Structure 1
Amino acid sequence: MSVQNPPGLDLRRLRAHLDAARPGLVGGELTGELIEGGRSNLTYTVTDGSGRWVVRRPPLGHVLPTAHDMAREHRVVSALAGTDVPVPGVVALCEDESVIGARFYVMDFVPGTPYRSAGQLGALGPERTRDLVLRLVDTLADLHAVDPASVGLADFGRPDGFLERQVRRWGRQLAASRSRELPGVDELRDRLAASLPESGAAAVVHGDYRLDNALVDEEDRIAAVLDWEMSTLGDPITDLALVLAYTSGGLPSDIGVSDVQDAPGFPGADEIVARYAERSGRDVSDLGWYLGFAYFKLAVILEGIHYRFIRGKTVGANFERIGRAVPVLVEGGLRRLSE
């Protein structure tokens, strides 16, 4: 049920901003609700009883440096419109933090299902589940085939030295969220920094690509890829490794992250890698480092969420279990680097 003023979103001030930025768009009083399931930026649906939109804003507290950049997210979604990558239409970007207390942007509402659990996928059956996941992999290859310059993203990142900067960046993010001892995490960061692979051709990378960051329509097509907050130009194999880390990371199903890989028909890692290689034409022969980095990055992201949770700065359910995933990911990252 829709509620007035969900946490972090003043609907009256949002309406006033939209009336100024997009006159005539909103026809009546806005109501809205928080969309559950997000672990980082907050996402809301709002409606005037006729039209329906989605609002994205940063979390309510402890925003990590360089994270949650609404302008970057708005820019990449706008740029990818018209490519083979399905994205929502953008409505407005607001960089004035005085409106709702943070920068935000508004996009079109896209109907579809974000598959977050094996139970949801189980209703599709093994064949549809397999086809859906492989379609997600195809969409990732389509993203990596986009020429950044052709869509106005030539300056969206600095591909040279990308992997080195990524290790340093996530090391800084870890330092910003330090609240407890995490055995092995510093060793994982140091080993990653000391064994950087040579990247292939750069691409637009999503940065958090996974099944529940996509909306699936009634025909099992990818209707929209969401959550572009960490997108940039860089090494596309980092996206592929994240897909594998999310679905082959060895995380217990009750830990609050995802258990989609337990659904009958869900493709194994080898099939996912082979499909991506065939569709993209990219070299995927050396995944060990990328998997180690994917585990490290996920560990840091989840530690940041845990940090906000223990300080009462999160909105939504199941955050109390997130912290348990971090040591598992650190151990997995070290193991991948040793294989």
Structure 2
Amino acid sequence: MTDSSLVDKAGTIRAGEELDLEQLRQYLQPVLGSKVANLKLQQFPGGFSNLTYLLSSGSDKWVLRRPPFGSTVKSAHDMSREYKILSALQNVFPYGPIPIHFCQDQSIIGCDFYLMNYIEGLVIRREYPPQLKMTPDQIRQQLFNFFDVLGELHSVDLVAAGLDTFGKPVGYVHRQVDGWCKRWADAMTPDTANCDATMQWLQDNMPAESGKASVIHNDYKMDNVIFSASNPQQVIGVLDWEMATVGDPLMDLGCTLGYWVETGDPDFFREYRNMPSDVEGAPTRRQIIARFQQRTGLSVNNFPFYYCFGLFRLAVIGQQIYYRYYHGLTQDIRFKMMVKKTIILQQMCELIMAGKIST
């Protein structure tokens, strides 16, 4: 039986992120029919990038995705691209939401957006909900299942998905390092960290390509995954596909483990933790890598590079978010704190480069 108290719930829309509900009602009438008459709009918590809203009419529910307000990085918020990837994955990856409708008429809410089905379940953020009772063994299995689904994504047949010509997998690692270094330069503010040494180290320690091209999510973390509210160890949905592409799966693993804080990490980094990866029962990065290799058949060599890249990339994303706040493009007070996280992530990169962090 589903525990309704565990189901992720939408709530009040944040100030400055309101949508024109009447415009939506009129536009969506051909899509949703008479249900638009009682259409209600709420917003899901969390998220610093693309915004997610709940549309409901009686017992019917849908999810609307749109770019963030005030963003100037259009390539990072391509709604049509996200919609295309979800459409392609429908028959080959059972965890993606079902896309319903894409709108490129920017007169409706001021931007492109799309509608998808609503997946009811548990979303885990910084802490486990207090009413969720799991043993350390159950937590361990849940988190292994979380990474197993990432491995399933990396095993998707690109031809069967129609994604064999999507993205540019050859030279992916080199382009990613160059691209994120440029993004850092474009988003710098006077009060942020100095990442020059990290960027040079990534250039100097770049490994050869893994030789495998996979669908990669590029932001796979616990609050982008939906677990069953009746069986919390089971993954039932994967969300937020805005950065997905075809590329090197080891880069994707490194990006996910950039979020992974464990008990042996420095205290300053454990303060950064945004998911419960250091609770009793949670596997370490080494254990996750071993499991990933066993499940996918991929060899994870040169992991300090992939891990350092994952941390640096998160620092850049945090800095891009903070840049919007610094220049008055958003009023969301959460964005103000991102500069501190950027500095913490850079400190971890320095420890990896010095060989002081176990990966």
TM-score above 0.5, yes or no: yes
Which stretch shifts more, 282-291 or 79-88? 79-88
Contact 2:269 2:345 (C-alpha < 8 Å) held by counterparts: no
Equivalent position of 1:30 in the other structure = 39
Give the aligned partner of residue 84 of structure 2: 75
Name the count of aligned residue pairs: 337
The SS at the match of 1:223 is strand
Gapped runs of 5+ residues in structure 2? 1-9
Is 1:206 the equivalent of 2:217? yes
Equivalent-residue separation in structure 1 for 2:71 and 2:168 (angstroms): 26
Q: Provide the TM-score with structure 2 as the length reference.
A: 0.87
- 1:90-132 deviations in Å (ceiling 9; x for gaps): 1111122221111111111100111112343873332221111
Q: Which residue of 2 aligns with 1:325?
A: 341
Matched, 1:231 2:244: yes
Q: Taking structure 1 as reference, are residues 245 and 2 closer, same or farther at Cα in structure 2, changes over 3 Å only?
A: closer
Cα distance, 1:133 vs. partner?
0.7
Indicate the SS of the match to 2:119: coil
Residue deviations 1:271-324, cap 9 Å, x none? Answer: 111111111000112211111111110000011111223344447664332221
2:235 matched to which residue of 1?
A: 222
> Match for residue 52 of structure 1?
61
Checking the alignment, whether the CA contact within 8 Å between 2:321 and 2:338 is kept in structure 1 is yes
Moved more, 240-249 or 156-165: 240-249
Q: 2: CA distance between counterparts of 1:271 and 1:196?
A: 24
Aligned counterparts of 1:264 and 1:156: Cα–Cα separation in 2 = 40
Partner Cα separation in structure 1 for residue 190 and residue 259 of structure 2: 24
Any conservation in 2 of the 1:8–1:60 contact (CA below 8 Å)? no
> Which residue identity lines up with residue 130 of structure 1 in the other structure?
R
Do the aligned residues in 2 keep the contact of 1:80 with 1:87 (CA within 8 Å)? yes
Asked whether the 8 Å contact 2:53–2:65 carries over to 1, the reply is yes
Counterpart contact for 1:177–1:303, Cα < 8 Å: yes
Contact 1:5 1:31 in 2 (8 A): no
1:244 corresponds to which residue?
257
CA–CA distance in structure 2, aligned partners of residues 317 and 111 of structure 1 = 29
Which moves more between the two structures, 210-219 or 315-324? Answer: 315-324
**AA partner of residue 316 (structure 2):** V
2:13, 2:307 → 1: CA distance?
Answer: 43
2:347 aligned partner, one-letter code: E
CA distance in 2, matches of 1:33, 1:150: 36
Residue identity in the other structure for 1:247: W
Structure 1 residues 78 and 66, CA, compared in 2 at 3 Å: closer, same or farther?
same
Distance 2:157 2:282 in 1: 30
Query: Partner residue of 2:182?
Result: 172
Q: Distance between the aligned counterparts of 1:224 and 1:104, measured in 2? A: 20
In structure 1, the residue matched to 2:304 is: 288
Aligned-partner Cα distance in 1 for 2:314–2:182? 14
The one-letter amino acid of 2:231's match is E
Q: What RMSD over aligned residues (CA atoms) do the two structures have, in Å? A: 2.3
Normalised TM-score (structure 1): 0.92
Q: Residue 278 of structure 2 aligns with which residue?
A: 262
Q: CA deviation at 1:195?
A: 2.5
Which residue of 274, 284, 288 maps to 1:272? Answer: 288
Q: 1:179 to 1:144 in 2, by over 3 A?
A: same
Q: 1:130 to 1:316 in 2, by over 3 A?
A: farther
Contact 2:180/2:316, CA 8 A, preserved across alignment: yes
Moved more, 217-226 or 62-71: 62-71
Aligned residues of 2:123 and 2:226 also touching (Cα < 8 A):
yes
Mapped to 1, the partners of 2:79 and 2:307 lie a distance apart of 28
Alignment of 1:136 with 2:157, yes or no, is no
Report the Cα distance in structure 2 between the residues aligned to 1:254 and 1:30, rounded to whole angstroms. Answer: 41
Query: Alpha-carbon deviation of 1:3?
Result: 5.5
Q: How many Å apart are 1:23 and its aligned residue?
A: 5.1
Aligned-residue identity in percent: 33
Counterpart residue type for residue 341 of structure 2: A
